Amino acid sequence: MQLTAVGRSSCNSHTGRGTLFLLQNLVILVAWVLDVRRHADIPWLLHVYRCLQSMIATFSSNRHFGPNHVVILIPVWNDWQSAYLLLQQLREVLAAQDSQFDVLLVDDGSREPLPDVLIDCGWYKVGSVRVLRLRRNLGHQTAIAIGLSYIEQQFDCEAVLIMDGDGEDSPAEALRLVDAMRTQAEPRIIFAERTHRSEGLLFRFGYMTYRIAHRLLTGRRIRFGNFSIIPRSFLSNLVVLPELWVHYAAAVLKSRLPFESIQTRRSRRLAGVSKMNLTALTLHGIRAFSVCSDIVGARVLLFSLICLAECVALIGLVGGLRLFTDYALPGWASTICGLLVLLTLQLVGLAAQFALFVAGSASSTQVLPCRDSVIFMQSILHCNGNGFGATIIAPSRVTAEGPSA
């Protein structure tokens, strides 16, 4: 299934950039000579002008780059000021790099309008900036899944770099992730492991509790989040994982794809206030546990059975002391043992029901990001690399052969 009917171009990257530059300058010349903006009431002039704009956007969206092409995926929800400042930082950091970088901003149903300065500004080393608008707010993790599915089908790139749009993921640290991925002998996903956090004490305590609970319930250590880089060869493996729709980092752990982490420092938010509160953090943790619900169910069931065996052994010990010894036991000892057995049996029953529910849900219909993402895409806004304009492309219908206009 393809998101658009237009296939990928296989032209040389230098020739492609030159042709794109000529097209953009041709449109500028036509707009100046014909003075389109003053003669907006002449339909055929506007038609010529818009057709040339459409050619630029289509050509730009079908460019083929070599091995040094990285796509930066940034989910955004009502935080365009931070995203704009982050793009400015990326422009400064990427200016000295030889690689080609494109940016995909996933608008997760924002109520705030897209600022004009984000559309009209030229980004120099950033080849293009696209805004993928979703039909509704789906959450940070689902926005990442949809963005990865779009990139997997629309970009021929070396890797995908995932960053938060608030600026806490530093562009300088992002380059460290790129360098770490390129130095690997075999393809690996590289995560940023935080050595210093800028949040408050309550948030850090909650995050530590989440990490401990995740280790106990799943047996897996997790010290990283979304900030990471994915080799292109792993995208096709990730976008078929239903768990990717729920929690990106936990889905990577469950996929058993090779990964490593490097230590990084978390920067401070560029603008506004964080939307991650204690409730959101709790929900984020529950989503991570739900990805490994089969392991969690099995571990809780085994723990319940062990508790039941210990209670039975305790009752046997108490009964043996009463029947075969003269040791005086307090009267409440039997009562406590009986209550422990009842509580443990209830725990075993709940754990067994949970395990059976997880086993049954494994065969039910699940969301596949590569198949279902396009349903939630509303439009794609192309912000041209040297600030000329934008074109909106809306995937309206999806068929087995791909969407139709």
pLDDT digits (tens, 9 = 90+) for 254-272: 899 999 999 988 888 888 7
Whether 80 and 381 have beta carbons less than 8 Å apart is answered as no
Q: In whole angstroms, what is the distance from residue 182 CA to residue 188 CA? A: 9
pLDDT at 321: 76
3 Cβ contact list (under 8 Å, min separation 6): 150, 153, 154, 374, 377, 395, 402, 403
pTM of the model: 0.73
Write the DSSP assignment of 324-391 as a string of letters.
H--PPPPTHHHHHHHHHHHHHHHHHHHHHHHHHHHHHHTTS----HHHHGGGGEEEEEEE-TTS--EE
Q: In whole angstroms, what is the distance from residue 272 CA to residue 287 CA? A: 26
| Per-position pLDDT tens, the chain of length 405 | 444 433 333 344 444 555 555 555 565 555 555 554 455 455 665 566 566 555 655 555 444 444 688 999 999 999 999 998 998 888 888 877 888 889 999 999 999 888 877 765 555 556 778 899 999 999 999 999 999 999 999 888 999 999 998 888 999 999 999 999 999 999 999 999 877 666 667 777 777 888 888 788 888 877 788 999 999 999 999 999 999 999 999 899 889 999 999 998 888 888 877 777 767 777 877 888 888 877 887 787 788 778 778 777 877 777 777 777 777 667 777 777 778 778 777 777 777 776 666 655 655 557 899 999 999 998 888 775 444 444 454 444 443 334 443
Reduced to 3 states (helix: H, G, I; strand: E, B; else coil), residue 405 is coil
N-to-C CA span, the chain: 15
pLDDT at 7: 34
CA angle 173, 127, 2 (to 5 degrees): 100
Q: In whole angstroms, what is the distance from residue 101 CA to residue 94 CA? A: 8
Look up the CATH superfamily of 68-291+370-404: Spore Coat Polysaccharide Biosynthesis Protein SpsA; Chain A (3.90.550.10)
Reduced to 3 states (helix: H, G, I; strand: E, B; else coil), residue 81 is helix
In the chain, where the domains are located: 1-64, 68-291+370-404, 293-361
Strands across the sheet containing 377-383: 259-265, 189-196, 224-231, 159-162, 69-76, 100-107, 126-134, 377-383, 390-393
Q: In whole angstroms, what is the distance from residue 148 CA to residue 3 CA? A: 13
Whether 246 and 141 have beta carbons less than 8 Å apart is answered as yes
pLDDT at 3: 43
pLDDT at 400: 35
353 Cβ contact list (under 8 Å, min separation 6): none
Q: In whole angstroms, what is the distance from residue 206 CA to residue 78 CA? A: 25
DSSP β-bridge partners for residue 89: none
- The per-residue pLDDT for range 63-90, each reduced to its tens digit, is 444 468 899 999 999 999 999 899 888 8
Q: In whole angstroms, what is the distance from residue 101 CA to residue 120 CA? A: 18
Q: In whole angstroms, what is the distance from residue 12 CA to residue 10 CA? A: 7
Whether 382 and 60 have beta carbons less than 8 Å apart is answered as yes
Whether 165 and 82 have beta carbons less than 8 Å apart is answered as yes
Q: In whole angstroms, what is the distance from residue 193 CA to residue 260 CA? A: 9
